[in-house]
Chain A
Amino acid sequence: MASDALTTRAHTTAPTAGRRRLPSSRAGLTVLAVVLSLISLFPVLWMVTSSFKTRATVTDGRLIPKDFTLQNFVYVFTEVPFARYLWNSFFISTVITVAALFFHSMAAYALARLRFPGREKLFGAIFATLLVTAPVVLIPLFLVARQLGLLDSYAGLIIPAIFNAFGIFLLRQFYLGLPKELEEAAVIDGCGHWRVYWNIVLPMSRPVLSALAIFFFLANWNAFVWPLVATSDQDLTVVQLGISSFQTQYTSNWNYILAAATVAALPMLVLFFVFQRQIVESIKTSGLK
C-alpha cells in the first residue's frame, strides 16, 4: 500500500535517458536508490527501536533491542503529563485545520466566482501576504497577541495560526478550474450564494480539502516557535514544547527522551503512510502554480 500511492504516475513515464539503458546501469540506479532510501530511513528507525531499550542498553549500538521494554513509554506517560501535551496538540491542530479550511474555502470561492468591485486587487493583496514569513513577524505578532489578551490561552495558540494565504491561493486555483454549470443551474433554481457554496461547491472540493487538511494538521502538530512564544502555562504545553523541555531536563536519559520523541512523531508517521498520496499531491500543486 505504501508503494502504490506514489507510483501512480510512474507508469506513464518511460526511462528518461535518450540511449537505451543497459540492464547493468538500471541495476546500479536501483542499488543507489536502495542505499539512499536506507540512509533516509535509518535515523528514524534507530529512534523507534532505541525507545524500546533500557537505560543501560540504549546506547549499545544495536538496532534490535536486546532487552525489549515498554517501561520508557510508561514512564513518559506517568511521570510527565505527556498525554495532556498530546491532547493539546491534537485539539489545537484539529480546530485550526477545520477553521482554516472553512474560512479559506469561503474566501477562495468569493475570489474565484463572485463578482464584486476590487476583486483582483484584493486577491493581489492577499497573495502578497504569502511573502511575509512567520518568523519575521514573530515579534509584532507577539505584541499584538499580548494586546488582545491572547497569550497563554487556547485562543492565542489557535487564532493566529488559522490565517495564511497559501490555502486561499490553492483553493482559488481549484475553484477556477471547476465547471460553472452546476452553480448556474442552482442559481436559476433560486439558490442563494450560501446554498450554492454549502450544497454544491463544498462537496465538490472534497479532494482538495482533504489534501489541505492533512497538510495543515501536520504543520500545526509540528509547530514549535509560536507556542513557545505564546504560552508559559503548563496546562497549555503542546507536544513539541514538551519534548524540547523534557530533553533539557533528562539530558542523558536517552531511553526516556527517545520514547517521548517517538510518541510525538508516531501520529505524523501514521498519517503520512495512510495519506501520503494527498500530501504529495498538495506539495506538487504548490510547486507548479
Chain B
Amino acid sequence: MSGVAAQERRRRATAAPPQSPATSGRRPRLSRKHREWLAAGLFLAPDVLGLLVFVAIPMVLSIGLSFFQVSGFGSYEWIGLGNYRRMVNDPLFWDSMKITGLYVVFLVPLLFCVSLGLGLLVKQQLPGVGVYRTMLFMPYVISLVVVGVLWKFLLDEQTGMVNRAMRAAGFDGESWLGSPSLALGCVIAVMVWVMMGYYMIIFLAGLQEIPQEFYEAAKLDGAGPWTTFRTITWPLLRPTSFFVLLMSTVAAITGGLDLIFVLTNGGPANGTSLAIFYIYQQAFGFGEYGYASAMGSFLVLIMVLISAVLFTFTRGGRFDDGE
C-alpha cells in the first residue's frame, strides 16, 4: 500500500508541471491543484455516497442487527449473542446449511466441467461455431423467474415433456419436483443449463489468451490432445479457472433465490430450502430481521473462509509453482 502511495507521490511530483500563469490567472481563487481536487470530489460524490448508503452501511448494519431482536416496526432490543445461540440450536437452519452444502458440492464442479468442456468445444474451428456459441449462451439472458416457470412446465409429472420423452423411451416417468432429492437435483440441473453459457464465454476468453505458439510447439513434439491439455491448456488457464470457481461458489451460496421461489418454493419437505431461502423466509416471512441477519452474517463468514481456502490452494490462480 505504502509502495503505491510513494509511487503516486513520485508521479505527482514529476507529472505536475509548474502552474501555468494563463490558467491560474483565469480562476484566481483556486490553484490548479485544488481545482483538480474539487473536480475529483464532485465527480466521485454520487457514486461514493450511493455505495456508502446502499452497500457499505447495510453491510455493517447487517452484522450489528444480528445482536438485536427486531420486532414489528422499528423496535430494537439488544440481545447479545441470543440470535447466534438460537441459530446453533435451530435444526431447520442446519438442514438448510446441509442442503446448501450438497447444492454447492454438486453444482460448482458440474458447472465447472460442463462450461470448460463447452469452452474447449466452441474454441474449435467447427462449421457454424458462432451459432453454437449463441445457442449455448442464450438461456443466460432469460430471467430466473421465467426459467423457473418454463422448467416447471417441462418437469410436470403428468404432462411435462421430460416425462413424456422418458415414457416414449420405455421408462417410467418420475415425480421430478415431488421428492426432496430429485427436486434438488432438478434445481442443480436447471442452474447448469442457465449458467453454462456464461462460464463458457469466460473460459473461451481465457483459452483465446493462450499463445498459439505453445500449441504449435506441442504439435511439433507430437503431443496428443490429452497431453496438450494437461501440460499447456490446464496450467495456463489457472487464473480463469480460479475466477470461475470463486464466482460460481459465491453465486451458488447467495444466489438462485428467484429460481427456488418459482420452481420449488423450498419444497418438497424443505428439500430445496437453501440457507439463503431460509434466511429470506425468516426475515420477510416472519419479520425476524435480527435472527435472519445473524444467519446471514454466518453465511458471509463461510464464504470468506471458502474464498480464503480457494486462494491458498490455487495461489489466486497464479501458476508460480513450476510445472
Q: Which residues of A contact B (CB under 8 A)?
A: 2-7, 9-20, 26, 29-30, 32-34, 36-38, 40-41, 43-44, 46-47, 50, 59, 61, 103-104, 106-107, 109-111, 114-117, 119-122, 124, 126, 129, 132-144, 159-160, 162-165, 168, 190, 192-194, 197, 218, 221-222, 224-225, 229, 240, 243-244, 247, 254, 257-258, 261, 264-265, 268-269, 271-273, 276, 279-280, 283-284, 286-289
Contact = CB atoms under 8 A, between A and B. Distances in A.
A3 B15 CA distance: 47
A106 B45 CA distance: 9
Nearest to A148: B53
Contact of B145 (A193, A243, A272): A243
Contacts of B156: 59
Contact of A3 (B130, B138, B196, B198): B130
A22 to B, nearest CB: 11
Contacts of A140: 57-59, 61-62, 65, 293
B223 to A, nearest CB: 4
B166 interface: no
A132 B154 CA distance: 35
A16 B215 contact: yes
B39 A114 contact: yes
Given A16-B233, A110-B40, A163 B65 contact: no
Interface stretch (B89-97, B120-128, B175-183): B120-128
B191 interface: no
Interface in B130-148: 130-139, 141-146, 148
Interface in B12-36: 12, 15-16, 22-23, 26, 33, 35-36
Contacts of B153: 46-47, 50, 254, 257-258
Contact of B149 (A5, A133, A243): A243
- Give chain B's interface secondary structure class: helix
B195 to A, nearest CB: 12
19 contacts: A15-B125, A16-B228, A17-B224, A18-B221, A19-B225, A43-B139, A43-B193, A46-B161, A47-B146, A115-B40, A136-B59, A136-B62, A142-B283, A142-B284, A142-B289, A225-B257, A240-B145, A243-B145, A271-B141
A243 B143 CA distance: 11
Interface in B281-299: 283-284, 289, 292-293, 296, 299
A159 B52 CA distance: 13
Interface residues of B, number: 117
A18 to B, nearest CB: 4
Contacts of A162: 50
B43 A110 contact: yes
B104 interface: no
A18 B39 contact: no
A218 B140 CA distance: 10
The 7 closest A-B pairs by CB, nearest first: A3-B130, A59-B159, A163-B50, A222-B143, A7-B130, A287-B202, A140-B58
Contact of A139 (B126, B135, B205, B292): B292
- Give chain A's interface secondary structure class: helix
Given A10-B130, A225-B257, A163 B55 contact: yes
Contacts of A103: 46-47, 50
Given A140-B65, A168-B47, A240-B258, A26 B126 contact: yes
Contacts of A268: 141-143
A252 to B, nearest CB: 9
Given A139-B62, A261-B149, A287-B202, A272 B141 contact: yes
A164 B65 CA distance: 23
Contacts of A163: 47, 50-51, 54-55
A46 B4 CA distance: 55
A145 B221 CA distance: 63
B150 A43 contact: yes
B124 A29 contact: yes
A71 to B, nearest CB: 18
A259 B136 CA distance: 23
Contact of A120 (B5, B16, B133): B5
Contacts of B126: 26, 29-30, 33
Given A139-B289, A287-B206, A18 B215 contact: yes
B48 interface: yes
Given A43-B193, A287-B201, 10 more contacts: A7-B129, A10-B130, A16-B225, A18-B224, A37-B131, A40-B135, A115-B36, A126-B47, A138-B280, A272-B141
B71 interface: no
Nearest to A125: B56
A115 B16 CA distance: 9
A39 B115 CA distance: 14
B137 A276 contact: yes
A46 B154 contact: yes
B240 A240 contact: no
Contacts of B23: 190
Contacts of B207: 13, 16
B151 interface: yes
A185 to B, nearest CB: 14
Best-surrounded residue of B131, B141, B257 (most CB of chain A within 10 A):
B141
